[in-house]
Amino acid sequence: MRVLAAMSGGVDSAVAAARMVDAGHDVTGVHLALSSNPQSFRSGARGCCTLEDSRDARRAADVLGIPFYIWDLAERFRADVVDDFVAEYAAGRTPNPCLRCNEKIKFAAVLDRALALGFDAVCTGHYARILDGPHGRELHRAADPEKDQSYVLGVLTSDQLRHAMFPLGDTVKTEIRDEAARRGLAVADKPDSHDICFIADGDTAGFLRNQLGEAPGELVDTSGSVVGEHDGTYGFTIGQRKGLRIGRPAADGKPRYVLDISPVDRRVTVGPREDLAVDEVVGMTPRWCGAAPSGAMECAAQFRAHGTAVPSRVEVDGDAVTVRFHEAQEGVAPGQAVVLYDGDRVIGSATIERTAAWAGSPA
């Protein structure tokens, strides 16, 4: 097949491309330029959008003996990922930009262009597996549970899965580094990127403040009493404990957590940990990795990239997906993705619109 290998400049995508070459495919490497000013993004191990990364990707392609190109997707990335990230925080929600990048950039903009150019598939260094099963092409968890990235790939449709390849899904990360060294790839010891690639210094609250400006407001407890002040609701996420700047301790002396974020009146509500518990979420705009289910089903639901999937009962009604956890969960926030699993197989995902507390009152 003609395979377009998305090469970030890291060890995973380099080995993924190498494995495609070994498999006999006609491979072309492409690095995605996602910033109009890459020097403003983080350098070294702190991201995947730097000039250094593009050079590392080119050197890896040279070692593999494959053609290499750089595609400028900075404008699309800004609109679909960065602007969306800012808008979601401004609305008091908690987005996942990596998931959005996979949905809008790597398996939409890139895949669409690849197919138009005559490629059969796009290959990446994600840790996940694609298997043929009773549901057609199925997305499954990776063999390495510590590196599994099926959560951030849960937005892929069955058609996108037909044109996606994840050559690393059956291998643990330590073996990937050893393989890269044997192949003579200079990125063998390059640290993994982490955090949000488009925030230069890792200061998410500072980045959002620069984008949205200061919008001071009040921290209140569940009775409505003012217990502190803040510079902007965008600096908080549901379940946050640190950095609250509360003026006086709670009557019971216990820590307080962010329970609710209201950008309209600039209020952040804090309270005891037990008030974080929810047993139900409603997700919208579902994306199914196969045929859309209908009615009710038992499955596992995961709402964080590195979280644990928990037993749940799910009801699908058109574009609404209601997930009821068998046991109450903490730190679930609107804007997060809830990804549904049948064992290791990804059923699909939805964006959390609202939650309900364990006692049944709105959260």
Q: Alpha-carbon distance 131 to 73, whole Å? A: 30
Catalytic member of 101, 123, 289, 299: 101
Kindly state the tokens that stand for 255.
């820590």
For this structure, is 101 an active site residue? Answer: yes
For this structure, is 48 an active site residue? Answer: no
User: Is 52 buried (19+), middle (13-18) or exposed (0-12) by CB count in 10 A?
Assistant: middle
- CA-based end-to-end distance of the chain: 50
Amino acid at 228: G
Phi, psi of 278 (to 5 degrees): -130, 150
Q: Alpha-carbon distance 98 to 354, whole Å? A: 21
Write the DSSP assignment of 183-196 as a string of letters: TT-GGGGPPPP-S-
Catalytic member of 98, 123, 197, 289: 197
Q: Alpha-carbon distance 70 to 55, whole Å? A: 10
Which positions are annotated as active-site residues?
101, 197
